[in-house]
Amino acid sequence: MLTSERIAAIRREYRLAILDESSIAADPIEQLVHWLEEALHAEVPESTAMVLATADASGAPSARVVLLKGIENGRLHFYTNLESPKARDIAANPRVALLFYWAELERQVRIEGIAALLDHETVAEYFATRPRGAQIGAWASRQSAFLSSRQELEESVARYEHQFADTEQIPPPPWWGGYAVEPHAFEFWQGRQNRLHDRFRFERTTMGWSRQRLSP
Ligand SMILES: Cc1cc2nc3c(=O)[nH]c(=O)nc-3n(C[C@H](O)[C@H](O)[C@H](O)COP(=O)(O)O)c2cc1C
Protein backbone atom coordinates (compact mmCIF):
# COMPACT_ATOMS: atom_id res chain seq x y z
CA MET A 1 0.00 0.00 0.00
CA LEU A 2 1.19 3.51 -0.70
CA THR A 3 1.32 4.79 2.87
CA SER A 4 2.55 8.24 3.88
CA GLU A 5 5.62 6.53 5.38
CA ARG A 6 6.46 5.03 2.00
CA ILE A 7 5.89 8.34 0.25
CA ALA A 8 8.04 10.18 2.79
CA ALA A 9 10.84 7.64 2.35
CA ILE A 10 11.19 8.41 -1.36
CA ARG A 11 14.31 10.47 -1.68
CA ARG A 12 17.27 10.78 -3.96
CA GLU A 13 20.67 12.36 -3.71
CA TYR A 14 21.53 14.89 -6.41
CA ARG A 15 25.11 14.61 -7.56
CA LEU A 16 25.12 15.01 -11.33
CA ALA A 17 26.42 18.54 -11.74
CA ILE A 18 27.22 21.85 -10.14
CA LEU A 19 26.23 25.38 -11.07
CA ASP A 20 28.61 28.10 -9.94
CA GLU A 21 29.67 31.69 -10.53
CA SER A 22 32.26 30.62 -13.09
CA SER A 23 29.90 28.51 -15.20
CA ILE A 24 26.60 30.42 -15.11
CA ALA A 25 25.92 32.86 -17.98
CA ALA A 26 25.59 36.59 -17.26
CA ASP A 27 22.37 36.63 -19.28
CA PRO A 28 19.59 34.35 -17.96
CA ILE A 29 18.10 33.78 -21.42
CA GLU A 30 21.49 32.50 -22.55
CA GLN A 31 21.60 30.22 -19.49
CA LEU A 32 18.06 28.95 -20.21
CA VAL A 33 18.94 28.21 -23.84
CA HIS A 34 22.10 26.41 -22.70
CA TRP A 35 20.15 24.21 -20.24
CA LEU A 36 17.41 23.58 -22.80
CA GLU A 37 20.05 22.43 -25.29
CA GLU A 38 21.50 20.10 -22.65
CA ALA A 39 18.03 18.73 -21.85
CA LEU A 40 17.41 18.08 -25.56
CA HIS A 41 20.84 16.52 -25.96
CA ALA A 42 20.18 14.26 -22.94
CA GLU A 43 16.83 13.33 -24.56
CA VAL A 44 14.86 14.38 -21.48
CA PRO A 45 11.24 13.61 -22.44
CA GLU A 46 9.19 16.75 -23.15
CA SER A 47 12.22 19.02 -22.56
CA THR A 48 10.21 22.00 -23.80
CA ALA A 49 7.25 21.36 -21.50
CA MET A 50 6.83 24.09 -18.90
CA VAL A 51 4.35 24.65 -16.11
CA LEU A 52 2.44 27.90 -16.63
CA ALA A 53 0.98 29.40 -13.47
CA THR A 54 -1.65 32.12 -13.71
CA ALA A 55 -3.92 33.86 -11.23
CA ASP A 56 -7.45 35.07 -11.88
CA ALA A 57 -8.85 38.50 -11.06
CA SER A 58 -9.48 37.43 -7.45
CA GLY A 59 -5.90 36.15 -7.09
CA ALA A 60 -6.82 32.43 -7.22
CA PRO A 61 -3.87 30.58 -8.78
CA SER A 62 -3.90 27.68 -11.23
CA ALA A 63 -1.18 25.81 -13.09
CA ARG A 64 -0.88 23.60 -16.14
CA VAL A 65 1.73 22.39 -18.61
CA VAL A 66 2.16 24.13 -21.97
CA LEU A 67 4.87 23.69 -24.60
CA LEU A 68 7.53 26.30 -25.28
CA LYS A 69 7.36 27.03 -29.02
CA GLY A 70 9.98 29.71 -29.43
CA ILE A 71 12.27 32.23 -27.77
CA GLU A 72 12.32 35.55 -29.61
CA ASN A 73 13.94 38.74 -28.34
CA GLY A 74 14.20 37.25 -24.87
CA ARG A 75 10.48 36.39 -24.75
CA LEU A 76 9.09 32.86 -24.38
CA HIS A 77 6.28 31.85 -26.74
CA PHE A 78 3.48 29.35 -26.20
CA TYR A 79 0.17 28.71 -27.97
CA THR A 80 -3.29 27.99 -26.66
CA ASN A 81 -7.03 28.55 -26.88
CA LEU A 82 -7.88 32.19 -26.19
CA GLU A 83 -11.19 31.28 -24.54
CA SER A 84 -9.56 28.87 -22.08
CA PRO A 85 -9.38 29.55 -18.34
CA LYS A 86 -5.65 30.37 -18.61
CA ALA A 87 -6.40 32.97 -21.31
CA ARG A 88 -9.16 34.48 -19.17
CA ASP A 89 -6.71 34.66 -16.26
CA ILE A 90 -4.07 36.39 -18.39
CA ALA A 91 -6.62 38.91 -19.70
CA ALA A 92 -7.43 39.83 -16.10
CA ASN A 93 -3.87 39.57 -14.82
CA PRO A 94 -0.94 39.25 -17.25
CA ARG A 95 1.55 38.36 -14.47
CA VAL A 96 2.52 34.71 -14.92
CA ALA A 97 5.12 32.21 -13.78
CA LEU A 98 6.76 29.50 -15.87
CA LEU A 99 8.65 26.47 -14.63
CA PHE A 100 10.84 23.89 -16.31
CA TYR A 101 11.78 20.72 -14.41
CA TRP A 102 14.27 18.33 -15.96
CA ALA A 103 14.43 15.48 -13.44
CA GLU A 104 17.08 13.58 -15.42
CA LEU A 105 19.43 16.57 -15.11
CA GLU A 106 18.38 17.46 -11.54
CA ARG A 107 17.50 20.95 -12.73
CA GLN A 108 14.66 23.43 -12.31
CA VAL A 109 14.21 26.86 -13.88
CA ARG A 110 11.65 29.28 -12.44
CA ILE A 111 10.59 32.31 -14.45
CA GLU A 112 8.33 35.24 -13.59
CA GLY A 113 7.10 37.62 -16.25
CA ILE A 114 4.33 39.38 -18.10
CA ALA A 115 2.35 37.65 -20.85
CA ALA A 116 1.21 39.52 -23.96
CA LEU A 117 -0.77 38.23 -26.94
CA LEU A 118 1.25 37.34 -30.02
CA ASP A 119 0.31 39.11 -33.24
CA HIS A 120 -1.85 37.31 -35.79
CA GLU A 121 1.00 36.90 -38.29
CA THR A 122 3.22 35.04 -35.79
CA VAL A 123 0.28 32.85 -34.74
CA ALA A 124 -0.65 32.03 -38.35
CA GLU A 125 2.97 31.24 -39.20
CA TYR A 126 3.24 28.79 -36.29
CA PHE A 127 -0.23 27.30 -36.90
CA ALA A 128 0.79 26.48 -40.49
CA THR A 129 3.62 24.27 -39.14
CA ARG A 130 1.25 22.14 -37.02
CA PRO A 131 0.24 18.72 -38.35
CA ARG A 132 -3.17 18.84 -40.04
CA GLY A 133 -4.71 16.70 -37.27
CA ALA A 134 -3.63 19.23 -34.65
CA GLN A 135 -4.99 22.08 -36.80
CA ILE A 136 -8.39 20.36 -36.99
CA GLY A 137 -8.15 19.66 -33.26
CA ALA A 138 -7.78 23.38 -32.54
CA TRP A 139 -11.00 24.05 -34.46
CA ALA A 140 -12.86 21.13 -32.90
CA SER A 141 -12.05 21.83 -29.25
CA ARG A 142 -13.52 24.55 -27.05
CA GLN A 143 -10.70 24.02 -24.58
CA SER A 144 -11.82 23.26 -21.00
CA ALA A 145 -15.57 23.51 -21.84
CA PHE A 146 -17.63 20.55 -20.49
CA LEU A 147 -18.20 17.66 -22.93
CA SER A 148 -21.13 15.26 -22.61
CA SER A 149 -19.02 12.44 -24.09
CA ARG A 150 -15.91 11.63 -26.15
CA GLN A 151 -18.32 11.18 -29.05
CA GLU A 152 -19.32 14.85 -28.92
CA LEU A 153 -15.66 15.79 -29.47
CA GLU A 154 -15.22 13.26 -32.27
CA GLU A 155 -18.34 14.57 -34.02
CA SER A 156 -16.93 18.06 -33.83
CA VAL A 157 -13.67 16.80 -35.39
CA ALA A 158 -15.64 15.11 -38.19
CA ARG A 159 -17.59 18.33 -38.86
CA TYR A 160 -14.39 20.37 -39.25
CA GLU A 161 -12.70 17.66 -41.34
CA HIS A 162 -15.67 17.95 -43.68
CA GLN A 163 -15.64 21.76 -43.62
CA PHE A 164 -11.91 21.88 -44.48
CA ALA A 165 -11.89 18.93 -46.88
CA ASP A 166 -11.04 21.19 -49.84
CA THR A 167 -8.86 23.63 -47.89
CA GLU A 168 -5.15 23.03 -48.31
CA GLN A 169 -3.94 25.57 -45.75
CA ILE A 170 -6.26 25.55 -42.71
CA PRO A 171 -6.21 28.96 -40.98
CA PRO A 172 -6.02 29.28 -37.18
CA PRO A 173 -9.43 29.49 -35.49
CA PRO A 174 -10.28 33.02 -34.31
CA TRP A 175 -10.30 31.72 -30.72
CA TRP A 176 -6.78 30.33 -30.94
CA GLY A 177 -3.52 32.20 -30.42
CA GLY A 178 -0.33 32.54 -28.50
CA TYR A 179 1.49 34.54 -25.88
CA ALA A 180 4.97 35.93 -25.45
CA VAL A 181 6.16 36.01 -21.85
CA GLU A 182 8.62 38.79 -21.10
CA PRO A 183 10.60 37.57 -18.08
CA HIS A 184 11.65 39.87 -15.27
CA ALA A 185 13.04 37.19 -12.94
CA PHE A 186 14.68 33.78 -13.29
CA GLU A 187 15.93 31.18 -10.87
CA PHE A 188 18.25 28.36 -11.89
CA TRP A 189 18.35 25.38 -9.53
CA GLN A 190 20.88 22.60 -9.74
CA GLY A 191 20.37 19.76 -7.26
CA ARG A 192 23.39 19.00 -5.03
CA GLN A 193 24.23 16.46 -2.37
CA ASN A 194 22.68 16.73 1.13
CA ARG A 195 20.08 19.19 -0.18
CA LEU A 196 22.80 21.86 -0.47
CA HIS A 197 21.63 22.86 -3.91
CA ASP A 198 23.05 25.59 -6.13
CA ARG A 199 20.51 28.36 -6.78
CA PHE A 200 20.90 31.62 -8.66
CA ARG A 201 18.22 34.29 -9.01
CA PHE A 202 18.32 36.92 -11.76
CA GLU A 203 16.23 40.08 -11.64
CA ARG A 204 15.82 42.61 -14.41
CA THR A 205 17.00 46.08 -13.33
CA THR A 206 17.42 49.37 -15.17
CA MET A 207 21.15 48.48 -15.37
CA GLY A 208 20.55 45.01 -16.88
CA TRP A 209 20.27 41.69 -15.03
CA SER A 210 21.27 41.41 -11.38
CA ARG A 211 22.31 37.98 -10.08
CA GLN A 212 22.32 36.57 -6.55
CA ARG A 213 23.21 33.16 -5.17
CA LEU A 214 20.37 31.88 -2.96
CA SER A 215 20.52 29.62 0.06
CA PRO A 216 19.13 26.17 -0.75
C1 LIG B 1 2.98 17.75 -21.96
C2 LIG B 1 1.79 18.68 -22.11
C3 LIG B 1 1.85 19.69 -23.05
C4 LIG B 1 0.77 20.58 -23.19
N5 LIG B 1 0.88 21.62 -24.07
C6 LIG B 1 -0.12 22.51 -24.17
C7 LIG B 1 0.02 23.68 -24.99
O8 LIG B 1 1.08 23.94 -25.60
N9 LIG B 1 -1.04 24.53 -25.07
C10 LIG B 1 -2.21 24.31 -24.39
O11 LIG B 1 -3.13 25.10 -24.51
N12 LIG B 1 -2.35 23.23 -23.58
C13 LIG B 1 -1.35 22.34 -23.45
N14 LIG B 1 -1.47 21.25 -22.60
C15 LIG B 1 -2.76 21.08 -21.88
C16 LIG B 1 -2.79 22.02 -20.66
O17 LIG B 1 -1.97 21.50 -19.64
C18 LIG B 1 -4.22 22.24 -20.13
O19 LIG B 1 -4.84 21.01 -19.86
C20 LIG B 1 -5.09 23.02 -21.11
O21 LIG B 1 -4.36 24.03 -21.78
C22 LIG B 1 -6.29 23.68 -20.39
O23 LIG B 1 -5.81 24.58 -19.43
P24 LIG B 1 -6.74 25.72 -18.76
O25 LIG B 1 -8.09 25.09 -18.54
O26 LIG B 1 -6.04 26.05 -17.49
O27 LIG B 1 -6.79 26.88 -19.70
C28 LIG B 1 -0.41 20.40 -22.42
C29 LIG B 1 -0.44 19.38 -21.47
C30 LIG B 1 0.65 18.55 -21.30
C31 LIG B 1 0.60 17.49 -20.22
CB 201 within 8 A of CB 214: yes
CB 178 within 8 A of CB 79: yes
Summarised one tens digit per residue, pLDDT across range 51-87 is 999 999 999 999 999 999 999 999 999 999 999 999 9
Ligand 1 centroid – CA 81 distance (Å): 9
Overall number of domains in the chain: 1
Q: Is the CB of 159 inside a 6 Å radius of any atom of ligand 1?
A: no
For residue 200, the model assigns a pLDDT of: 98
Range of the domain at 115: 15-129+174-214
Summarised one tens digit per residue, pLDDT across range 85-126 is 999 999 999 999 999 999 999 999 999 999 999 999 999 999
Residue 169 lies in a domain: no
CATH for 200? 2.30.110.10
> Going by CA atoms, what residue is nearest to atom 26 of ligand 1?
86
For residue 140, the model assigns a pLDDT of: 97
Q: Is the CB of 49 inside a 6 Å radius of any atom of ligand 1?
A: yes
Residue 154 lies in a domain: no
Residue 210 lies in a domain: yes
Residue 184 lies in a domain: yes
Ligand 1 centroid – CA 67 distance (Å): 8
**Confidence grade of residue 149 (pLDDT, cut at 50, 70, 90):** very high
For residue 172, the model assigns a pLDDT of: 98
Ligand 1 centroid – CA 46 distance (Å): 13
Closest CA to 65 of 89, 48, 88: 48
Q: What distance in Å separates the CA atoms of residue 112 and residue 181, rounded to the nearest whole number?
A: 9
Start-to-end CA distance of the chain, whole Å, equals: 32
* Residue 110 bears catalytic tag: no
Q: Is the CB of 139 inside a 6 Å radius of any atom of ligand 1?
A: no
For residue 113, the model assigns a pLDDT of: 98
